[in-house]
Chains A and B, each alone.
Chain A
Amino acid sequence: GAVVSQHPSRVICKSGTSVKIECRSLDFQATTMFWYRQFPKQSLMLMATSNEGSKATYEQGVEKDKFLINHASLTLSTLTVTSAHPEDSSFYICSARDVQGVSWGNEKLFFGSGTQLSVL
């Protein structure tokens, strides 16, 4: 099946630094990628929708200047957490839609393995 690679899997950083997380579709092209955030023992919350070649669409309450998203190619989207603070510590997961997946059935939506961010 299709693979979405997300890196790094775990990152620890100091408060005030920026962290970049990459999401790559390895064997398919993804015009749309999604970024989620998951707090411990809670559900996934959609943060933003990343569209190749255009600006990301952010969900209500998500600061676009805090969480910078770049989707410069059909196989790569990046999420940069700028000036990270301890409250940004969370598990971040990306998903990518196969560009061939025109069906509404999200069987063409593939998830990365997640990034655990810890801000000290």
Chain B
Amino acid sequence: GEDVEQSLFLSVREGDSSVINCTYTDSSSTYLYWYKQEPGAGLQLLTYIFSNMDMKQDQRLTVLLNKKDKHLSLRIADTQTGDSAIYFCAEGRNTGFQKLVFGTGTRLLVSP
């Protein structure tokens, strides 16, 4: 289908790791992204991965890409209460310019 899918909700305890999963649809997407949205705010780019990579690490964030299964994940190490937000994955579809198609979003709740 056309949808980029994510699980709706994830709850973790402070200090644990969080893993947010995403299944995308367009195998030709060049870049895949993770964005964070706090309540009533716009989107903040967290990280992105080029489609010919299978892993990217950026401080507490680790992105894993399984291109064969079109599966993307974001691991947040040592999750903090400030990480509570909605996380969107997005695929960059090449339509002349790169058009972002966003996932359904995963609400992460971090409890003390």
Could you list which residues of chain A lie within 8 angstroms of chain B, going by C-beta atoms?
4, 6, 9, 32, 34, 41-46, 49, 93, 95, 104-107, 109, 111-114, 116
A105 touches B50 (CB 8 A): yes
18 contacts between A and B (CB under 8 A): A9-B40, A41-B107, A46-B99, A46-B100, A49-B99, A93-B43, A95-B42, A105-B48, A106-B31, A106-B92, A106-B100, A107-B48, A109-B45, A111-B43, A111-B45, A113-B41, A113-B42, A114-B42
Report the interface size class on chain B. 20 to 34
Closest A residue to B41 by beta carbon equals A113
Given contacts A105-B50, A107-B48, A6 and B42 within 8 Å (CB-CB): yes
Of B31, B41, B88, the residue contacting A104 (CB under 8 A) is B31
Nearest Cβ in chain A — how far from B79, in angstroms? 21
Could you list which residues of chain B lie within 8 angstroms of chain A, going by C-beta atoms?
4, 30-31, 33, 35, 40-45, 48, 50, 88, 92, 94, 97-105, 107
Closest B residue to A36 by beta carbon equals B102
A interface, over-half SS: strand
For B42, the chain A residues whose CB sits under 8 A away are 4, 6, 93, 95, 111-114
